[in-house]
Amino acid sequence: MDAHFTIWLLGVSFGASMLGGMLGMASGIFIVPVLVIFGHIEIHRAIGASIVSVIACSCGGASSGLNARLTNFRLAIVLEVATTLGALTGVLLNGVVPIRFLILLFAAILFISAVQMLSKRRVSVKTPQAGCRWATRFDLHSTYPEPARGVDVEYKLERLPLGMSLMYGAGLISALLGIGSGVLKIPAMDTALRLPIKVSSATSNFMIGVTGAASAGAYFMQGAVVPSIAGPVALGSVVGALAGARVLLRVSGESLRLLFVIVLILLGVQMLLNGLNIHLF
């Protein structure tokens, strides 16, 4: 293990995670491209390291959502059946799919994320809904506190089967690329289930750890998680996420968002070139 390389790994994962934490989003999506493009790390090893850091950030950040009663843990465990099943499929595919396909898929996810960051998340309908009967059967409807009014707001879930299918896809992408795959979780939570945004963010973050464990367990046992890479990346990410959540925003959220979009597009272009065998770095 090279000390300079370790420090570099700690630094980049800390930086990516801190930026992510400032916007309240996961930074897993940056880790793999940075490791592949600038660290020249083989993509399977980069994915193995990234998924461990994704788990660490999810577990480390879970308590805030739980203590604020925003995490719907009943819904989480039901959706996790779908996400872990998707992750298991991703693990099986990961050994078969050509590396070039993984890199190009990653580029596509980076571009989709950039577009998603530019467009505003739609606010779910406030009027009380009938709710999906599957969700009623599992007693998944819940309430969340609205501190401004000092009351608990009731919400009901819609279209649980559609939400489950999208979550399966999110789990698959998560395992295949070593990311938390918020890209697919946000539409599933906002559009299919119609959850309030605060609830969907907290619940989605809560689920990422378990989803990640389904693929990380496999990658760890097969030797794709290299300790000298995964260790520094995980530690850097955890500390970075903590720092990011505490940092006082001196720049506006909007310009930070724009910076994120630019970084996502640049990494996407670089991954695309990499996938087409054009190397600039």
Partner 1 sequence: MFSTVDPHHKTKRVSALERLLAKLLSYGTWIASFIVAIGIARAFVDANDVRLMKAGIGCLILLPMLRVLLMLFLFLRERDYRLAIAAALVLAIIVAGIVIGVHRGSAIAG
The rounded Cα 170 to chain-centroid distance in angstroms is 9
Q: Of the candidates 209, 240, 244, 268, which one interacts with partner 1 according to CB under 8 A? A: 209
In angstroms, the CA 82 to CA 74 distance is 14
Nearer to partner 1, 196 or 268 (CB): 196
**Locate tokens 């990640």: which residue?**
212
In angstroms, the CA 169 to CA 153 distance is 30
Residues in 128-147 that interact with partner 1 by CB under 8 A: 137-139, 143, 145
Q: Of the candidates 21, 212, 240, 268, which one interacts with partner 1 according to CB under 8 A? A: 212
Residues 198/235, Cβ–Cβ less than 8 Å: no
- 81 forms part of the interface with partner 1 (CB under 8 A): yes
Size of the site for partner 1 (CB under 8 A): 62
Q: Which of 222, 180, 198 is nearest to 83 (CA)?
A: 180
In angstroms, the CA 173 to CA 112 distance is 13
Shortest CB 110 distance to partner 1, Å? 25
Both tokens assigned to 208 = 């990422």
Listed ranges 1-9, 37-45, 178-186, 250-258: which one lies at the site for partner 1 (CB under 8 A): 1-9
Shortest CB 197 distance to partner 1, Å? 18
Nearer to partner 1, 65 or 275 (CB): 65
Residues in 89-108 that interact with partner 1 by CB under 8 A: 91-92, 95
Q: How many CB atoms lie within 10 A of CB 220?
A: 16
Q: Of the candidates 8, 23, 42, 88, which one interacts with partner 1 according to CB under 8 A? A: 88
Binding mask 13-52 for partner 1 (x = CB under 8 A): ---------------------------------------x
Residues 197/60, Cβ–Cβ less than 8 Å: no
Q: Which of 3, 45, 27, 85 is nearest to 243 (CA)?
A: 27
Binding mask 223-262 for partner 1 (x = CB under 8 A): x-x-xx-xxx-xx--xx-----------------------
Dihedral (C-alpha) 235, 238, 242, 247: value to the nearest 10 degrees?
Answer: 70
In angstroms, the CA 211 to CA 219 distance is 13
DSSP state of 23: H
| Cβ contacts of 123 within 8 Å, gap of 6 or more | 197
Residues 266/113, Cβ–Cβ less than 8 Å: no
Residues in 48-77 that interact with partner 1 by CB under 8 A: 52, 55-56, 58-60, 62-63, 66-67, 69, 71, 73-74, 77
Shortest CB 98 distance to partner 1, Å? 17
Residues 211/80, Cβ–Cβ less than 8 Å: yes
Nearer to partner 1, 77 or 105 (CB): 77
The contact set with partner 1 (CB under 8 A) reads 1-3, 6, 10, 52, 55-56, 58-60, 62-63, 66-67, 69, 71, 73-74, 77-78, 80-81, 84-85, 87-88, 91-92, 95, 137-139, 143, 145, 150-152, 209-210, 212-223, 225, 227-228, 230-232, 234-235, 238-239
